[in-house]
Each structure stands twice: as structure tokens, then as C-alpha cells.
Copies of this chain bind each other. A is one copy, B any other.
Amino acid sequence: MFDIAQLAGVSEATVSRALSGSPLIAESTRMRVLQVARSANYQVNINARSLRQKRSRSIEVLIPLATRGRQHMSDPFYLDMLGALADALAARSYDLLLTKRAPWLDGVEKNSIQCGRADGIIIMGQGQDLEELDRFASMYPQIIVWGGHLPDHNYVVVGTDNVVGGKMATEHLMQVGRKRIAFLGDPAEPEIALRLEGYKRAHAENGMTLDESLIYKAPFDAREARIAAEATIEGGVRFDALFCASDVIAMSTVTALRRAEIRVPHDVAVVGYDDIRMSANFDPALTTISQQIQQGGETMVDLLLTIIDGGSASTTLLPPELIVRESTVA
């Protein structure tokens, strides 16, 4: 800073104020100081500070798409959650490092915690690599997983209670008088398996016979979900309601139903899951289960920083919320 002051012909205090954007410094002075600082390759030494503190003040957010058959990144749910995480991290002066490749797929020395690029990792969905994730978490406790609450795992999970959410969606369809409720989603994903569990419980607890042939498999991707929905409808519908595992699947399904001249909700009532922004502006506006994305993002960040600071955190289930719109009530 002394050198910069000399070169710019100002005091060190002025350099300090100019670099910190103080309003006390005239714009022309600030520009001169900045030019000198830049040409002198001056850096507020974040990397040196990180070394000293053994902290990067970065959190990695992993959307693990390199593993098999995952929710396509274009699902707006991810973007809403990324926005919530970006806000929560920025408010706590942490950077957000976005990655798409699961750390257990590479040599372990490459993961961001080990090499000091991040102080912890938020993993968006446990996906289907449950063993690899568990092994990774046993080595690196500084992780939080957004996903489903499974019985045995080494990591802290934050997510809505998917069983309750699935039950809520199904019971809403029963309450509006539907008798044959189908399910559309991929139970190979832990969260979807739990939503399906809720769907089954709703049947059991309400004395309604479960027809296993009404459980249809559909991937998260909009295009593939539409193809799955079309196959489901082919040759006539055998159901008067559909609980779809995501809003994207629900929208694709409504499109498929409409093309087959099946009216929503008159002939088939449809419930989605996630409450992405577009759901309220769809035709018909989608009934769905809200995942409390803002609160979920904040909770994940708070729990992760607690772990990083040496504290303990435990799996947290957020209450899902039923949002009733036009796709289930005329």
C-alpha cells in the first residue's frame, strides 16, 4: 500500500479509503489510485488470507448431473433453490462455487474441501449414488444434502417431509372426490420413493384400495415426462386423478392430456410437486406441494456453517404445504 501511495502521490490513508470505496475520496483520486493499484498488480490478498485462516469462505453447491439418470438441470426447481442459496451465502459473506460433477467420481484429492477451495459442500439431491455419497460423507462431514430422509446415512439432510407431502397431495385428490388416483414419477430417486410412500399411506389410511398398475414411471425431464405421460394415456385413461412427482412432470402431463382431449380437472385432476414459479401461471394453474425453497436454502447454509465451525447439526424436515389451484378444482 505504501508503494501505491508513492506512485499515486497520495497518503496511505487515501489509498486505503480509495480501495474501500469510501465516499470521502474524490472520484478522480479514486480512479488514479485504482489505476496505479492495477498496474502494480495489487491484490487485497484473499488467497493469503484464506491460507492464514485455513478458510476459503466459499461453499460448493453441487448439482450432481454427471451421475446416472438425474433430474435435468433445466428443471426450474434448481434455479429457484440456487437463487435462495446465493442470497443466504452472500448474506453471510460466503462465495457460492457451482459444480455439476459429484466429488466421489474423481480422485479424492480433487474435491473442493480437501484442496481448500470450499469449506463445505451442499449437494442438491442424494441421487442414486447412495453408497458413494455415504462413503464420501464419512470422510468429509462438512456436507449438507438436500433430499429425502432415509434411515441410515452419514450426512445431514434438509428437505421437506416427502412422505407427508405425498400423502397431502393424494388426500387432496380424495377430498375432491377422486377414486382412481395414479402416480407418475421415478421411485429410483429417494425423494420420489418417499412421495410414493405417502401416496400409499394415504390409500391405506383412508381405506382406499391401491391399484399398483396405476403407478407409472416418469423421469424428471420435460420431454421424457411428456413421452411417458403419452404412453400412460394411450388407449384411454384408467384413472380420474394424477399425482405427479414434480411440477415439470405435471405440466408435461397436462399437455399430453389436453392433446388427447382429456379435460383437466374435469376428467383428470392433476397435482404437481415443487411450486416452481411457472406453476401459478400455467393453464390450468397447477395445484402443487410447496417445498419452502427460501427457508430450505437458509437452513442448509446455517447448518453447514455450524458444522464448519465445529458444531453439530441434525437432519431437518420442513413442513410441505398444499397449494390448491385450478388443476384439481373446477
A residues at B contact (CB < 8 Å): 19-22, 30-31, 34-35, 37-38, 41, 43-48, 50-51, 54, 56, 58, 61, 65, 72-74, 76, 78-80, 82-83, 86-87, 90, 95-101, 106-110, 112, 114-117, 139-140, 221-223, 225-226, 248, 251-252, 254-255, 258-259, 276-278, 280-283
Tell me which of B41, B99, B106 contacts A86 (CB under 8 A): B99
Please tell me if the beta carbons of A83 and B74 are within 8 angstroms of each other in the complex. Answer: yes
B20 lies within 8 A of A109 (CB): yes
Shortest beta-carbon distance, A18 to chain B, in Å?
8
Residue contact B82 to A90, C-beta cutoff 8 Å = no
How many copies, total? 2
Residue in B closest to A31 when the chains form the complex, CB atoms:
B139
Nearest B residue to A118, CB-CB: B95
CA distance A45 to B79 in the complex (A): 32
**Complex CA distance for A183 and B118, rounded to whole angstroms:** 46
A45 contact set on B, CB distance < 8 A: 51, 115-116
A222 touches B116 (CB 8 A): no
Minimum Cβ distance to chain B for residue A65 (Å): 8
Cα–Cα distance between A251 and B283 once the two chains are bound (Å): 9
Nearest B residue to A44, CB-CB: B115
Q: Which residues of B contact A90 (CB under 8 A)?
A: 99-101
Q: A21-B106, A96-B99 are in contact. Are A223 and B43 (CB under 8 A)?
A: no
Give CA–CA (A255, B281) in the complex, Å.
7
Determine the distance from Cα of A73 to Cα of B79 in the docked complex, in whole angstroms.
Answer: 7
Instruction: Give the distance in Å from the alpha carbon of A73 to the alpha carbon of B83 in the complex.
Output: 7
By a CB distance below 8 angstroms, the chain B residues around A100 are 83, 86-87, 90
